[in-house]
Structures are given as C-alpha cells and as structure tokens.
Structure 1
Amino acid sequence: MAAMLTEKERNRLRSLAGRQAEYAALPVMAERAGLWREHNDLSGGRPMINTETSSFERELLPPLVCESPKAREFELALLRNVLNHEHIGDDRVVSPVFDVAPVTDFEYFGIKIESVHSKSSSGDDTGRRYIHKIGDLGEDLPQLKPSTWYYDAQKTQEKVELAKEVFGDLLQVRRGPINPKFVLTRSVVYLMGMEQMCYNMMDYPEEFDELLCRMTDDYLAYCKFLETNGYLTLNNNSCYVWPTTHGYTDRLPAAGFEGRVRTEDLWLGMDSQETIVVSPEMYGELFFPYYQKMARHFGRLAYGCCEPVDRVWEWVSQLHGLSKLSISPWCDVRVMGERLAGSGIIFHRKVSPNYVGVGCVFDEDGFTRHIRETLEAARGCRLEFALRDIYTLCGEPWRIRRAVEIIRNEIEGLWGR
C-alpha cells in the first residue's frame, strides 16, 4: 500500500514522524502528561496552558511537500503534532502516538452545511457566510428528512495500515477518536441563521422544541451507532477534547468497562454560544433540557466557548459530569471565581484573543494585566488557560510564544501566594 506514495513523500513523512518521536521521548513530555492527568483529576498544582493553533497555523507551518491527498493529510497531521512544541512552548504534549482520523460524518436531516468564503488579498480565508436551508419552521419542519450518518470502517483501516507501513516503526499508529462535540444551537444557526432562529422560537415554539428534540435524539443515535459497532475509542489520553484541552484522566473509562468503549467512557464537549440572544430563563426552559439529556450519556463534560456562562450558571451547574467550564472574556471572572472555588469544576479560562491577534503592536502590559486579573479571580480554583480564536499573529509569529511566556511568568509570580 505504501507504493501509493512517492519516495519523496515517504521520506518526508518518515522525517516528520522521526521528529515527533524525538520530541515525545523528551522527559518533559512524560512530566506534562502527568501534570495534565493530575490537573484534570483535581490533584494537580499549577495552572495548565494550551493553545489552539488551527486559526493561525498558516503563519507558522511550512508549505506542504507531499502531493497526493493521503500523504498531504498525514504530513499536515504530523506537522500539527509538533507545532506547539516548536513554536509556542505551552503545555501541549507531544505523544509517541499517531492518531489516524476516522472516515465518518453526520448531517442533521441529511442537509449538507454549505458556506461562501471570503479571502484576503494574500489569499487567506478570512470569513464565511453560511447558506441556510431552513426558513419558516411552520412550513419546513414537516419536510425535513431523517438525519444521516456513516462510518467507513474499510477506508479508515486502509489509512491506518498505510500509516503503519510508512512510519509505524517510528510512532505507534492507532485509529483515532471521534471526540464527540454537541453544539446544538450552533447547528441550528448553521441550518437557519441567527435571526430566523429567533423568529422561529417566537412564531413556532412547539415546532422549535420539536426541532431541538429531533436534533438531540439524532446526534445521540449517531453516537450509539458508533458505540454498538465498536467504532468509539477512548479519549482519556493525549487526545484533543473540545474546547482546547487534553483528555488525560484516570476517571475514565467509567465503571463496568470491559474493553468495548461506551459513550459513558468518554469526554463530551458542548457549548451554546448562540443562546446569548435569549434570557437565562428561556435557556433553562427551552435549551438546557436537551444539553442535559446528551450530557447524561457521557462520562465527563467540558462546557462552553465564548458565551458568558455566569448568566446561566443556575442551569449549567446542573449538567451531568461537568468537569471544565469555559470562562470567556465576556464572563464576570470574579463572580465565576467565587462560584467555582472548591467546586471540583475547572476554571477553563479562555484568554482574550485581542491582545495577540488584533493591532499593529502586541500590548504586553495590557495582556499581563488581563492574566493577573484571571489569577486573582481564580484563587481557590483549578485553573487552565486556553489561547484560541486568534485569527492572525499580525505577521509577528513570536507573539504567541511571548504570550505563553507572560502567562508562565505571572503564574510563577502570583499563583499560590
């Protein structure tokens, strides 16, 4: 099967795999893995730092060398596996494992989500507009078809075997996790748009509730399809867990695990950013029951993205398995620090991306004050910093490493005093 690749592609992939293996063998990686496990299981000390690079990686990654689609997929994955270590210096672990992305997909009501992209003068993808397929819910709901999903086991295994043939002597190759992510309201907005969502909530409350019920049941059915067929794999290790964290934990898999992975053996990520347009009471009455229904089928939960969770704490705090809560720049950090102190829920601080990703000059003093505010507010909490939604480094790649250095310096100077 490796004959599908050219010698140049094979050499490129082996070189990158060797680089990952070299970094993975560094003592600091085993140390970090232990720190993450202690942190997630609430026995650790210092705050952890993680960076999501997908939105600005084009400013750090070299051009791809490989030409065939399969080789390019592996090349990009291998480059991403070492990106944080080489360019950022956060707490991301370089693992001796190469996870092969499964060939699977899920579509609500069989509707393919489509968007129109805009590009900058340099050709970078700078924005998008979604093409909404649902309008007036009273008319469209009866026309919606069942949701569709698939998992191509043969193609997935072919990718695994190809990776093993090319660099399996350098890295442990395995079928990667699905990493479930339930973003119900975002999916609604993809289908109908924010404005139409608001109209449909008011004009067709019963139909809108039926829509949420169907979407929840359908995504759960997809997850149970994966479970029944043995397609789920554990994400309690170096795997990425939404939003922007590692899955290391000894609290998963759940009791009764006998080898076949169940949904209750997994982390689940979810958010509801779009409900910022409704009152906390409406969130609790209309949306929360469906998030809770999904959460009850999983072991541990990381909740939130950009939404100010302080306003819906009454409801979010009841979510089954809640282990990490995103504290975004739009949250009242002091209020959430008081609520999470001693709670067993990790204060997952989403650092404002404006300091690093906006403006001609990196305002280090302002960024430092921003980090200090978090450290002071989160005393008594288990704290984790997430740098994400940074869409450009403004032509200064050093900014992201410097941001991590500032966070480390402030942790060393202020945490635990």
Structure 2
Amino acid sequence: MYLSKQDRDVLRQLGSRYMEIAVLPVQKEKISLWKSLNRGAMQRPMVVIDQHPWNELNITGALTCQVQDPYWRGVEGQLRKTIYAWDHFPVDMVVDPFIAIPPSMTNSGYGINSVTTFLAKEEGSVASQHFENVLKDWEDIEKIQPMRLTYNSHQTVQYLEEAKEIFKGIAPVRVRGMQFHLGVWDTISMLMGVETIYYELLDRPEFFHAIMERFTSSVLSGIEQANALGLHGDTLNTCHCSYIYTDELLPDSGAGKGPYSQNCWAFGMAQLFSSVSPDMTEEFELPYITRMAEAFGMIYYGCCDRLDDRLDIIKRIPHLKKVSCSPWSHVEAFAEKIGPSLVMSNKPNPAYVATDDFDCDLVRQDLQRTYDAAKRNHVNLEFILKDISTVRHEPERLRQWAEIAMEVVCQ
C-alpha cells in the first residue's frame, strides 16, 4: 500500500499532537475518577460529550481529512476528532497513550436488509426515514441469518506494521477490537417500522418470540466467533459513550484482560419499548438480552428509552453495571430506584443545545435537577450529552455546555 510523503506527514503531525494530549498527567487523574465511579465509590459525577454534529463543527477546517487512502483516511479522521474534542470541550474524556487502528474484518450482520425511504435530509445531518416491513410472514424469519465474522489476519498485520512505521518515534500502535451492540430491537424497528411492531406485539406475540429467538441466536454466533478469533475489544475505553475503566476489566490504559467476551463490555437497549408496558419488556426483551449479556464481563443498558418505570426488570440483566437515564425518564424516580451498586448514566436533553437561542440557565437547571436527585439518594452519577443532531452551526454552544456541566459536578 502506497502513502505519499505528504499523507505520511499529515498522519505524523496529527499523531504528535495526539500524543501530546495522551501523556498529560490529567489522563491518569481522570482514569482514577472513572474507576471510582465504576466501582460504586464516586468522587464526583463524571461528564462526557459524544456523538457530535461534526458537519457543523468544522468551521476552521480542522476536521477536514487530507489523506487519500480510505483506510488511513479513517485513522486520520479519528485523530482529528479526538484532538478537536480535547481542544474545545474535553470535560472528562480520556485519551489513551497509543494510536488504535481497526482490524481488517467484516461482519455480515443478520443477512437481511431494510427497505428505506428518506423523507427529508439536510447534508451531514440526521435523516428522517420510512421503513417498509420486510418481516411480514413466518417464512420471512428464515431471512435472518447467523452472524458471520471474517478476519483477514495477514492484512491486519500489514496495517499494523505500516502504522508502526508511520508513527515511529511518535506513538505506540495497537489494533482495536470490536464491541457488541446487543440492542437487536433497533435493527428490528428498521426492518418492520415501529408502528407495525406495536400492532404485531399485540396480535402475534408468538411471531415476535420467533423473531427474537432468531436474532439472539445470530448475535450469540457472532460472539462465539469473535471469541475464537480473539477479536473482542478488551482495551476499548468506552462503551456506548461511557468510560469503562474498572479494576476488574480495564484498570489502566490498554490494560485489558484478553480479547474475549468475558473480559469486555457490551451494550443493549430496546428504545421503542418506551411505549409498551413493563410487562412487555419483561416478556420480549429480558429473556433474550439475558442470554446475550451472560457472555460479557459488564453491561451498559439503555439509550433513549424510558427506564425509570421498569428498573426492577432491567436490574435483572446479568453483569449490569450502568443504566441509561434518558430525557424521557423521571430523574427523581430513577435516582430513588437505581441503588448504590449501579451507575445512573444520565443523558441531558440535547434539545437544549439546539434551541433558537442557547439558554445557559435552562442547561444549568436540567443538570442541577439530576445532580440533586442523585445526591439525595447517594447515587453514582455520570452525565453523557449525546445524540447531538445540531448546535445551529454554533460550536461554541458545546464549550458553554461543558463549562456549565463541570461547574455543576464540581460544586
């Protein structure tokens, strides 16, 4: 593979800046704070900003990639995003002192594709979509296939050797493992449409149990293959945007216990179940997520779903460590129920950075309300601002949000 001198220089310059950040003493300090939170002995609530509207943040061109080769362009893009986030709104992010490159591998997924119509799309933004139902009859379930992982070890070694040469004298290099998304309901919603699912749960519950059995078997097959190939990401430092340093699995940067599922985190969710009863969560989600979660060392559960009204069910998921408290959850009820052994992973409302005029007081009130609820109940708390669709092309809003958040958690 040929990279021009110019491309190599670009990567080396970014790698140098990345390592300047990665070796700062504050990285170790933040790891210590995250480990305290994750062991249930929080020193203070932690703060993360993730899932950025990158198309709106590239005002100065700092995020514009220059490398031509697609693989190394991806590495360049990740370096640029990490550096940008650190320079503008680092909050409690941690930058590991090595550059991680992706392996040469493919994942077949579930062998079935959605049929999608884009309803409205602004370039670079979240798109509104309509999904056709492709799982109409029992025979359609056969379309759901076992997950197949294909790993090209020879190509991965080539990438690793080239990376070592590119970043020689600048940064250590490691191959990044994979992380499993156990939220199969997200995929099903794109194969059937959410409204269709709600009707079918009522009209044909046995049909959905068959679908879930098929999806669960597919995921379990993928987990087993990743174990056999040693592809699980035991050195990844985040799971679903949350930092996951723990004494048990990741006590320090890169200090994983081996690339196997029992040493790793995975995350799950059933977002559309916010509009079904807790009993349906117990029947159609818990048995299946339980089987998948058993394979992993620790689990992060939830995303935009409301969970305060069914925490008793969610807390039965094996190896559960963190639970999402979305803007649709009642934060006081959530804090009262979560208990001391889990982390309340609060998702501040991203709509507050998308309003016509940015309201600092509204942001502070939102964060303070959750902070107070967690403090009253002695809850381990993290704030994760994510799913940020827009900041109205005003990147400064994220810096302002970060400053307010750190003031709240450090009070």
TM value normalised by structure 2: 0.91
Tell me how far apart the structure 2 counterparts of residues 411 and 253 of structure 1 sit (CA, whole Å): 24
- What is the Cα deviation at residue 144 of structure 1? 4.6
Question: Once structures 1 and 2 are overlaid, which stretch shifts more, 89-98 or 16-25?
Answer: 89-98
The residue identity in structure 1 corresponding to 2:369 is E
The residue that corresponds to 1:283 in the other structure is 281
Check 1:12–1:142 CA distance in 2 against 1; reply closer, same or farther (3 A cut): closer
1:27-52: CA deviation from partner (whole Å, max 9, x where unpaired):
11221122212221223301111111
Q: TM-score, normalised by structure 1?
A: 0.90
Given candidates 359, 374, 384, the residue that maps to 1:363 is 359
Matches of 2:126 and 2:338 in 1, distance apart? 36
* Residue 347 of structure 2 is aligned to residue 345 of structure 1: no
- The separation in 2 between residues aligned to 1:226 and 1:219, in whole angstroms, is 11
**Percent identical residues:** 27
Shift of 1:201: 2.5
2: CA distance between counterparts of 1:40 and 1:346?
Answer: 7
2:170 maps to which residue?
170
Cα contact 2:347–2:383 (8 A) shared by 1:
yes
Q: Which moved more, 1:69-78 or 1:132-141?
A: 132-141
Name the CA shift for 1:266/1:185 in 2 (closer, same or farther; >3 Å).
same
Note if 1:182 corresponds to 2:182: yes
- SS of structure 1 residue aligned to 2:42: coil
After superposing the two structures, state which structure 1 stretch, 286-295 or 203-212, moved more.
203-212
Quote the residue 1:249 is aligned against: 246
1:71 is matched with which residue?
Answer: 72
CA gap of 1:124–1:251, structure 2 versus 1, over 3 A, is same
Aligned residue number for residue 302 of structure 1? 300
In the alignment, the residues of structure 1 paired with residue 390 and residue 36 of structure 2 have an alpha-carbon distance, to the nearest angstrom, of 33
The 5 Å alignment of 1:139-288 reads 139-142=139-142, 144-235=144-235, 239-242=237-240, 244-252=241-249, 260-288=258-286
For 1:301 and 1:277, how far apart are their aligned partners in 2? 23
Aligned residues: 402
The reply to whether residue 404 of structure 1 matches residue 402 of structure 2 is yes
Partner of residue 5, structure 2 = 7
Give the corresponding residue for 1:336.
334
CA drift of 1:130 comes to: 5.7
> Do the aligned partners of 1:113 and 1:130 also contact (CA within 8 Å) in 2?
no
Q: Is the 8 A contact 1:292 1:320 kept in 2?
A: yes
Cα offsets for 1:201-236 (capped at 9, x unmatched) = 33432222011011111111111111012222414x
Instruction: Give the drift of 1:147.
Output: 4.1
Matched, 1:106 2:107: yes
- The amino acid of 2:371's aligned partner reads L
Match of residue 83 from structure 1: 84
In the aligned structure 1, how far is the partner of 2:78 from the partner of 2:90?
18
Which consecutive residues of structure 1, in runs of 5 or more, have no partner in the other structure? Answer: none
Change (3 A) 1:170 1:205: same
Report the RMSD for the aligned CA atoms in angstroms.
Answer: 2.3
Offset of residue 116 of structure 1: 5.0
Contact kept, 8 Å, 2:63 with 2:84, in 1: the verdict is no
Q: Cα deviation per residue 1:286-343 (whole Å; 9 max; x = unaligned)?
A: 22110111111111111110111112212101111111111111111111111124x2
Q: What is the rounded CA distance, in whole Å, between the counterparts of 1:336 and 1:119 in structure 2?
A: 35
C-alpha displacement of 1:81: 2.3
CA shift for structure 1 position 55: 3.4
SS of structure 2 residue aligned to 1:251 = coil
For 2:365, the aligned partner's letter is: R
User: Is residue 354 of structure 1 aligned with residue 351 of structure 2?
Assistant: yes
Structure 1, 49-58 or 382-391: larger mean CA deviation: 49-58
Checking the alignment, whether the CA contact within 8 Å between 2:223 and 2:261 is kept in structure 1 is: yes
Write the distance in 1 (CA, Å) between the matches of 2:152 and 2:222: 14
Deviation, 1:71, is 2.7
- Cα distance in 1 for partners of 2:27, 2:20 equals 11
Tell me the distance in 2 between the aligned counterparts of 1:40 and 1:57.
33
- Per-residue CA deviations over 1:180-206 (Å, capped at 9, x if unaligned) read 221111111122221222233334322
What is the distance in 1 between the residues matched to 2:20 and 2:409?
29
The 3 A distance-change label for structure 1 pair 334 and 366 is: same
Letter in 2 for 1:110: G
Counterpart Cα distance in 1 of 2:14 and 2:109: 37
> Hey, what's the Cα distance between the residues in 1 that align with 2:17 and 2:6?
17
Q: Distance in 2 between matches of 1:32 and 1:67?
A: 35
CA distance in 1, matches of 2:6, 2:74: 15
Q: Say whether the 8 Å CA contact 2:308–2:330 is kept in structure 1.
A: yes
Task: Name 1:394's counterpart in structure 2.
Answer: 392
Superposed CA deviations along residues 359-394 of structure 1, whole A, max 9, x for unmatched, are: 221111111111110111111111101010111121
